[in-house]
Structures are given as structure tokens and as C-alpha cells.
Amino acid sequence: MPVKEPSEQAAVVALLQTRPEGKSWADLTAEIVAVGSALTVWHKLVPGQLMDLPGHPNPLTVAASELQRWRSQHLQVLSILDKGTHAALRESTRRRRSYLLEGGS
């Protein structure tokens, strides 16, 4: 099922997969937390384009598909911005995680 609008979670995954400007995961995570929106960070760091280039799918669309695949495997996805993410993980300044995958039912 195609995703119509990219989510904050998809933006977190796309940022980490593409690492715009060669930024580290830690730098991207810090920027996402500081701004409060992965989509805002995405639009700031990644120039917009009118259409996908042949053979180069939109990273937000790819990330949204990844998220759907993970969920279909019964994995729960929590990004650094999600309320369900444990406060200790959100507020840690060392080794802060951008997203977590949790399995189980």
C-alpha cells in the first residue's frame, strides 16, 4: 500500500540512510531533536525536486516502504521524536539513538 505523505519516522530513516552533507548519525539525531521535526531537517538539508529521476527513487518513499515492511514483520518502530521512546533514550547525550526497532507481539 503506497504512502501518500511522508511521516516523521520516514524522514528520520531517510536522513540516516542518505546522510546529507556527509553528516553523522549523531549529528543528524541532534539536529532532529533541536528542530523537533525530521521532515523540517530533511527539507533543510535535501534540495527538493519536481519528480523522481529514473532509477533514483525518492528516499522518503523508500524509507516509508521500509517502515511498512518492518511493521509487516511485526516490528514496532520508534523514532527519537516519538512519545513512546523511553525518556532516558531521548535525553541521553551519549550514543543517542535516532530510531529503535522492537519485535514481539
How far is C-alpha 40 from the geometric centre of its chain's CA atoms?
A: 11
- Where residue 75 falls among pLDDT bands split at 50, 70, 90? confident
Region 52-80: mean pLDDT is 85
| Mean pLDDT estimate for the chain | 78
pLDDT above 80: residue 71: yes
pTM value surpassing 0.85 = no
Write the pLDDT tens digit of every residue in 5-19: 568 889 999 999 999
Residue with the larger pLDDT of the pair 84 and 36: 36
The C-alpha cell of 35 is what? 528542530
